[in-house]
Chain A
Amino acid sequence: MGLFLLKHWRTKMPSNLHRNPRIPFMSLLSSSSTAPSMPQTESAVFHTPLFAKRPPFFLQFTRGFAASSQPDLDPQTSDGLTVDGIVARSWPILDEGESDWRSHAASVALSIQLMKRRLQWKKMALRVEQLSAELNKPDLWEDPVYAGKISREHGMYMGKMKEVNGFEQDLLEHIDMLKLAREENDTELESESMKALLRMRRIAKEKELEALLAGEHDSCSCFIEVQGGAGGTESMDWAAMVMNMYKLWAQRRGFEVTTVDEMPGEIAGIKRATIKVDGEYAYGYAKSEVGVHRLVRISPFDSAKRRHTSFAAVAVIPILGDSSSRFQINESDLRIERFRSGGAGGQSVNTTDSAVRIVHIPTGVTATCQNERSQHQNKAMAMAVLQSRLDQLEMARQAQMNAQHTQSLTDISWGNQIRSYVLHPYAMVKDLRTRYEVSDPDSVLEGDIDGFILSYLSSTVDKDEETNI
């Protein structure tokens, strides 16, 4: 373990770019259980017999840096640039297509910062320090169960830190390389390094996302529900547009979409609808969308061509995979009925409509499904929706989750506007929580909402960080 970290070792050049309190890396390095009596002070590390055993060239791998007597934790480039330093410079982040190393670097650096925040870096470092101290106790292995637990936890955190540190290291090396190439007019090396930076930028985005979606139920599939606000056809049309936006978005992400329930409006649009979105992290993403979405446009349903403001409420329900955490439904508490059936039924009637409604009598929670092609399947789907609604109710009760995400359609107050879509007199979609905005409503309504989702998720990470430290 120490070996790997050393590879990414950077000594500190005195630098005032350095903002954060340092992670006590030395204690990480010393935490191997094979070296139980390793000293804990930073400067002492390099003089321990353990490291003395390593081949000396190994340290030289840290290109161009001699181990100083005052090593620091933040890796940096040959001219002293650190990840925090890059972020602090606020280089503009341009399109991926632009060959601008500063832009790539800034993007990667931001991702790294975010990953660190998501991992609760400082807290994690403290914990690792504690674990290392434990592991260093000579009598630790007298209780092998406890020792195993400690060492596993330690290993897990080390793995995570190692990954981020390695990434940080790679970024700085590529920057060094690029600068070097420029100095030496080596265009081939320059373009190689540029490509490498771009590659990193993409990988970093992925990793950033992984880090953002670390909530307890984030990896679940989910139901998305949309309901039109007051205002007749115009708002029902808006509800349908919002629902369509999610269907297209889900398709882009490769999620499977099934319409569960849909109450069409009389003239156009939908009164409300529920879709099931199947796929990894569907809930993690979609939960960002909970709240009221507002539309301003000249209504095609208004012959006087006036500007209208409409609202649609969105709720998202995770489909919990783990059966132990699910609400226990009593069969006898259910009323299962055919929905909208007429006439004698049986042989006298041939209809493809086999809608089912299930009422959970004690809570009054209901679920309907009409989009499956058999009654049996409609019932199964309605049951699944009901189960998830009850699970969500239970979660809200236990306040296990961020309260806002657990809101059902009926809880969402129309005052809780999260995003505004203006088609007239100017074109703009703006998230009221993050201030993230886009000037092309069409692309957003065609499902290009990842920008909104990511900026929202990042903003919640910041909040978590504030509350957790």
Chain B
Amino acid sequence: MTLCFTRTIHSLPFKHPRLSLSNPSKRPISSFLPHSSSQSPPLLHPISPKPHLPLFLRPPTSSATFSDLQKFHSWAKGLAFSVGSKFLDSDNGPDTDLLCREIKWLLEDAVEHTSILPHLGSSQNPNLTGSELIRLKLDLDDLYSLWNQRIEERRPFQYIVGCEHWRDFVLCVEEGVLIPRPETELIVDMVEEVVSKEKGLRNGLWADLGTGSGAIGIGIGRILEEGGRVIATDVSEVAVSVATFNVQRYGLQDKVQVRQGSWFEPIEDVMGKLAGLVSNPPYIPRDQIPRLQAEVGKHEPRLALDGGDHGMDDLLHLCEGSSIALGSGGFFAFETNGDEQSELLADIMTSKSENRFRDVKIKTDMAGIHRFVTGFRR
């Protein structure tokens, strides 16, 4: 099965295109869809721009002596220690402990053989002279400049190494695509739960709208049964290319299809047929954006964060569209900014949606915040 992108005719930036559900889809339902007929697959578009290869996937092209690496290690730790709780106090950023752990992970991704790493910290080691050559996946100079960016520019660690460990897999990420959050992992757990109870959902068609790096879509793709499929969409070109890369890296191209476009626009052809719809849309209230933690506010794409004046623009749009997109019995899960947003959303979906949804629930994340709204289409 080949990949297909459906590109929107709209140009960026834009938000909230009107739902055009009355338009009959001109796109054939491809063989990608469950229980499909033998129609020809959609055209394959070249992937552009090409995503950056994350550090850990690069071949070793450089090397440094053990003692040079030790020097880097103690320099990097020195920087981490100089931070103390400065970032933590100013905007809830990383403290020394966390930064030290990041150094360990950075080195894990940067060296060819990680067995050497535990020795870096210990002062005396009789079996190491210091002149041993360690193969690296980047130049030592670059290692220095990366860690410098981490501290001086507050460049997110995940952009530095080019990946984020999420659930039990590793997603490639880069500037222009949101780094998936730990909270969002739980959406996949929730899907896993409903899917385990209902075969129709296991084999059905799912959509992950605003997929970013492809995180949720891939997570769902990995738990669905043979017949189950996921369409993962994003309006951002970078996100589409990164998500496509991640889908392919996990060999899920037959299960997870990445499409480009705004919210429901790229899934017009399957409206009313979805077994499930999940999304973690931008939900930060616009006025909070200038005060965000530096790693987020200065480095992550605004398109992925800005949810309009109250942060609810996209959520409301999705909530409205999901009643049309989901088939009967279809499941939905949305991530929100927390307590107020989820209460409002749940309220709308129960009392103001003409009884179209059932079992609407608010679910908490592991910090006890009312993070998600879930339910079913009647």
Contact = CB atoms under 8 A, between A and B. Distances in A.
A353 interface: yes
Nearest to A257: B118
Lowest 6 A-B CB distances belong to which pairs? A373-B165, A375-B182, A338-B366, A376-B167, A374-B165, A350-B295
Contact of B101 (A342, A349, A350, A371): A371
At the interface, is chain B mostly helix, strand, loop or mixed? loop
A343 B182 CA distance: 14
Interface string B348-377: 000000000000000001111101000000
A372 B122 contact: no
Most buried by B among A248, A341, A344, A352: A352
Contacts of B166: 374, 376
A342 B92 CA distance: 7
Nearest to A256: B115
B293 A373 contact: no
A446 interface: yes
Contact of A338 (B115, B300, B365): B365
A5 B292 CA distance: 80
Nearest to A344: B338
A356 interface: yes
B228 interface: no
B137 to A, nearest CB: 17
B263 interface: no
Interface in A329-365: 336-338, 341-354, 356
B284 A376 contact: no
Contact of A345 (B168, B179, B183): B183
A86 B99 CA distance: 60
Contact of B168 (A347, A356, A376): A376
Q: How large is the interface on B (under 10, 10 to 19, 20 to 34, 35 or more residues)?
A: 35 or more
Nearest to A376: B167
A348 B280 CA distance: 13
Nearest to B185: A376
B179 A350 contact: yes
A247 interface: yes
Contacts of A345: 181, 183, 338, 365, 367, 369, 371
Interface of B: 92, 94, 97-98, 101-102, 105, 115, 118, 122, 124-126, 156-158, 164-168, 178-179, 181-183, 185, 280, 282-284, 288, 292-293, 295-296, 300, 304-305, 335-338, 365-369, 371
Contact of B118 (A247, A352, A380): A247
24 contacts: A248-B122, A251-B115, A251-B118, A264-B97, A343-B92, A344-B338, A345-B181, A345-B338, A345-B371, A346-B337, A347-B284, A347-B304, A348-B284, A348-B288, A348-B337, A350-B158, A350-B179, A352-B98, A374-B166, A374-B167, A374-B168, A376-B168, A376-B182, A377-B168
A375 B369 CA distance: 16
A371 B101 CA distance: 8
A449 to B, nearest CB: 16
Contacts of B164: 374
A442 B179 CA distance: 44
